[in-house]
């Protein structure tokens, strides 16, 4: 049994069945104390299920969950010192904002006065003091969201669970709330477990990310690690944009592998364990790690023809078709300083890549 | 501009609407108007007067009507209260304990009495009381009323509860409330409009019931409907119209109250 004070939540071989359907297949992970931890994955992969198992709304079919070393998976929700920010906020419509925020403390047996004082303090923290006397229905979506956050933070939970709390907000508000959430997490020192299906959101906010798919943990690591060293095709494809291509391995030297594309183009890729000569595997190439030039600049440059140029605002994406078929997307920053040159459709170009841009993946 | 399938553009729509409204409300209007008639005739208007209302409260039959009204209100309040409590618990059990195997059957059993012809229920209830040798009187009426009021109270309560997402109670339990506290502090207040509607519906149904009451009441025990029926058998006098109008007024007041509660709740949040 884990006794480490550094580990806030330890999920050990947790399995969840709904009838005959397996929502989680043996998940194990540790969430550190004072960490902004994100569960990331497409809709239906089991993020909410895992969160609800930690909160106590779903029982675990098999396995165990520990909170700072204490097994909690058999406790009812009201005995677990964790609080949840619900996806639909679930603010009590018949109570004022202040009563909502004070509810948890009142249920913990604190006096009305104490509950009110603390509620006022937390409302201050989310800058909603002037709305304390309002009913939730008299607030905007963003304000309701902050009330939900304040209500969950008020009892000083050991771990805060957030189930896609920003998904109902418009983009601008969402960005502002991302910053605010991150800030609140640092300020309070409470461990946050944040659920999202938005990979960009996960990358900007998290200390560590657990990528999930179909009830399985795909990869767990820091944002940079997950983005730059995805372990498999699913992670590479789900996080960020990438060019996925099938290659055949010719030889492996240490962490590098000599490969060739279908049309015979030779490439040096970063390799991963378990890949040997002759293997047909996928390779990931991030579009921003490729650059275009009129003429090849290195031996491994690929040549092709520009098919399309897409204006994205901050970036310009160029789709290039190689002589033998496969298409690449290349992203370059839309700045006047760089050597970014916009190539018209139909122009022959060379696609060049930074060292280590190409990565082999297991399936 | 009218929508392509605007109902109002169908021929005869207006006429049919008027016809329905007339059939529904003309008799009520006639009773209400003639209750203020100065004449003892029920068909000839002789000017405005409150004499039949005075007659209801002080006339020769007033003692009988007062006792019947008292019985009716006591029974309606007791039956509606009990039925509302039972219906609230039933709705909680059916809608808030997860899926269980006999759930559909339970809902069916609760609402089936609404579809059973009242005369059948009346006969069955009477036979039941006879079988257990329960002496007929106010109590038999009360028990019978509680029973048939339950499905009426259940409908608005369960409709309301269905509209309340489980996440409110979950949020409460997440915030350290026990199941009981979550029920009392969160679910009950949110359900209040449904509970009030259920109570009022049950109250009106009980107040107005004739068939079952007539079967199970003891000799000499009358409620307003049975007393009115008894009086009408000896010929319709305008004082009957006055009583009916008063009953109508009570119903309208209760329904208006229920509507106001529902509306206030909508304004305050879902
Ligand atoms: N109460 C339930 N009964 C049956 N299946 C469920 C239930 N809750 C969730 N599921 C299924 O479990 C899977 C994971 O759901 P969920 O955890 O909500 O996914 P996510 O939050 O990642 O979108 C989904 O396929 C969903 O349909
Ligand atoms: Mg979810």
Q: Give tens-digit pLDDT for A119-139.
A: 999 999 999 999 999 999 999
Q: Predicted ipTM?
A: 0.83
pLDDT score at B270: 43
A339 pLDDT more than 80: no
Q: CA A193 to CA B211: how far, in whole Å?
A: 62
Q: How far, in Å, are B110, B112, B118, B124 from residue B121 at the CA level?
A: 14, 11, 5, 5
Q: To the nearest whole percent, how much of chain A has pLDDT over 70?
A: 98
pLDDT at B9: 74
Distance (Å) from the alpha carbon of A78 to chain B's nearest alpha carbon: 4
Cβ(A37)–Cβ(A208) under 8 Å?
A: yes
Cα–Cα distance, B130 to B140 (Å, whole number) = 10
The b-or-e profile of B8-47 (16+ CB within 10 A means b, else e) is: eeeeeeeeeeeeeeeeeeeeeeebbebbbbeeeebeeeee
Which residues have C-beta within 8 Å of that of residue B161, sequence separation ≥ 6? B91, B92, B95, B96, B187, B191, B194
Q: How would residue A253 be classed by pLDDT, with cut points 50, 70 and 90?
A: confident
> How much is the pTM?
0.82
Nearest CA to ligand 1 atom 25: A44
> Which ligand neighbours the alpha carbon of A41 most closely?
1
Identify the CA nearest to A71 among candidates A13, A16, A151: A13
Q: How far apart are CA B48 and CA B34, in angstroms?
A: 9
Domains and their CATH numbers in chain A: 7-233 (3.40.50.300), 241-361 (2.40.50.140)
Least confident of A219-223, A293-297, B200-204: A293-297
Concatenating the DSSP letter of every residue in A50-72 gives HHHHHHTSS--SEEEEEETTEE-
Alpha carbon nearest to ligand 1 atom 16, residue: A46
The nearest alpha carbon in chain A to B191 belongs to: A94
**Per-residue confidence (pLDDT) for residue B218, from 0 to 100:** 83
Mean pLDDT of A65-86: 94
Q: Is the pLDDT of residue A76 over 60?
A: yes
Alpha carbon nearest to ligand 1 atom 3, residue? A18
pLDDT (average), residues A259-270: 84
Mean residue pLDDT of chain A comes to 90
B48 has a chain A CB within 8 A of its CB: no
Q: Which of B168, B174, B176 sits opposite A108 (nearest CB)?
A: B176
How many Å apart are CA B24 and CA A153, to the nearest integer? 57
Least confident range of A71-80, A144-153, A318-327? A318-327
Q: What spacing in Å lies between the alpha carbon of A75 and ligand 1's midpoint?
A: 22
The interface residues of chain B toward chain A in range 151-180, judged by CB-CB distance below 8 A, are: 165, 167-168, 170-178
Per-residue pLDDT of chain B (270 residues; tens, 9 = 90+): 455 677 777 778 888 999 999 999 999 998 899 889 888 887 888 888 888 899 888 888 888 899 999 999 999 999 999 999 999 999 998 888 777 778 888 888 888 888 889 999 999 999 999 999 888 889 999 999 999 999 999 999 999 999 898 899 999 999 999 999 999 999 999 999 899 999 999 999 999 999 999 999 988 899 999 999 998 888 888 888 899 999 999 989 988 888 887 777 665 544
**In a mutagenesis test of the A interface, which of B167, B175, B178 is the best target, namely the one with the most A β-carbons within 10 Å?**
B175
Under 8 Å CB pairs connecting chains A and B tally to 69
Question: Residue A200 above 70 pLDDT?
Answer: yes
User: Residue A259 in contact with residue A282, Cβ under 8 Å?
Assistant: no
Give the per-residue pLDDT at B269.
47
Indicate which of B96, B163, B171 best probes the interface with A, i.e. most A CBs within 10 Å of its own CB: B171
Q: What is the pLDDT of residue A279?
A: 85
Alpha-carbon distance values, A161 to A82, A112, B81 (Å):
7, 25, 42
Tokens of B48: 């405005």
Q: Which residues contact B173 (CB under 8 A, 6 or more apart)?
A: A56, A76, A77, A78, B179, B182
Pairing of strands A62-67, A348-353: unpaired
pLDDT of res. A148: 95
């Amino acid at each position: 049994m884990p006794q480490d004070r550094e580990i806030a939540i330890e999920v050990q071989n947790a399995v969840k069945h709904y009838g005959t359907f397996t929502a989680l297949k043996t998940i194990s992970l540790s969430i550190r104390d004072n960490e902004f931890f994100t569960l990331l994955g497409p809709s239906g992969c089991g993020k909410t299920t895992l969160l609800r198992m930690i909160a106590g709304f779903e029982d675990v079919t098999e396995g165990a969950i520990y909170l700072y070393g204490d097994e909690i998976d058999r406790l009812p929700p009201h005995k677990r010192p964790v609080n949840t920010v619900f996806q639909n906020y679930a603010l009590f419509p018949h109570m004022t904002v202040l009563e909502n925020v004070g509810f948890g403390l009142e249920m913990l047996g604190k006096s009305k006065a104490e509950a009110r004082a603390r509620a006022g303090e937390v409302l201050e923290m989310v800058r909603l003091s002037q709305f304390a006397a309002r009913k939730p229905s008299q607030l905007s979506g963003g304000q309701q969201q902050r009330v939900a956050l304040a209500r969950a933070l008020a009892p000083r939970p050991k771990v805060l669970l957030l189930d896609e709390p920003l998904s109902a907000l418009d983009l601008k508000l969402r960005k502002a709330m991302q910053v605010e959430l991150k800030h609140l997490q640092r300020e309070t020192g409470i461990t946050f477990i944040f659920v999202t299906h938005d990979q960009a959101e996960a990358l900007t906010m998290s200390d560590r990310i657990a990528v999930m798919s179909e009830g399985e943990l795909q990869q767990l690591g820091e944002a940079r690690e997950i983005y730059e060293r995805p372990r498999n095709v699913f992670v590479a494809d789900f996080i960020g944009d990438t060019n996925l291509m099938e290659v055949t391995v010719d030889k492996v030297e240490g962490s590098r592998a000599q490969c060739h594309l279908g049309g015979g183009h030779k490439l040096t890729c970063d390799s991963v364990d378990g890949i040997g000569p002759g293997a047909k595997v996928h390779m990931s190439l991030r579009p921003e790690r490729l650059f275009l030039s009129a003429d090849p600049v290195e031996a491994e440059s690929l040549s092709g023809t520009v098919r399309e140029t897409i204006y994205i605002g901050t970036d310009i994406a160029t789709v290039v078709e190689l002589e033998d078929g496969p298409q690449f997307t290349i992203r370059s920053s839309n700045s006047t300083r760089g050597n970014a040159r916009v190539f018209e459709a139909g122009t022959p170009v060379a696609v060049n890549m930074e060292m280590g841009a190409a990565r082999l993946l297991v399936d | 501009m009218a929508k392509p399938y605007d109902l109002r553009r169908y021929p005869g729509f207006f006429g049919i609407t008027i016809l329905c409204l007339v059939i529904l409300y003309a008799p009520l209007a006639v009773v209400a108007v003639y209750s203020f008639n100065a004449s003892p005739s029920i068909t000839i208007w002789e000017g405005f007067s409150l004499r039949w209302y005075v007659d209801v409260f002080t006339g020769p039959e007033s003692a009988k009507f007062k006792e019947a009204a008292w019985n009716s209100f006591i029974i309606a309040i007791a039956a509606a209260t009990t039925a509302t409590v039972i219906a609230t618990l039933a709705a909680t059990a059916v809608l808030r304990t997860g899926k269980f195997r006999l759930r559909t059957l339970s809902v069916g059993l609760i609402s089936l009495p609404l579809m059973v012809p009242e005369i059948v229920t009346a006969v069955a209830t009477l036979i039941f009381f006879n079988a257990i040798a329960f002496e007929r009187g106010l109590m038999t009426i009360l028990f019978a009323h509680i029973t048939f009021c339950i499905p009426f109270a259940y409908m608005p309560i369960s409709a309301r509860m269905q509209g309340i997402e489980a996440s409110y109670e979950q949020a409460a339990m997440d915030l350290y409330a026990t199941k009981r506290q979550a029920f009392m502090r969160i679910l009950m207040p949110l359900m209040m409009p449904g509970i009030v509607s259920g109570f009022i519906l049950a109250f009106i149904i009980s107040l107005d019931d004739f068939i079952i009451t007539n079967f199970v009441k003891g000799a000499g025990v009358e409620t307003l409907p049975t007393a009115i029926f008894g009086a009408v058998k000896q010929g319709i006098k305008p004082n009957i119209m006055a009583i009916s109008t008063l009953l109508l007024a009570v119903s309208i007041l209760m329904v208006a109250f229920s509507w106001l509660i529902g509306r206030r709740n909508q304004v305050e949040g879902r």
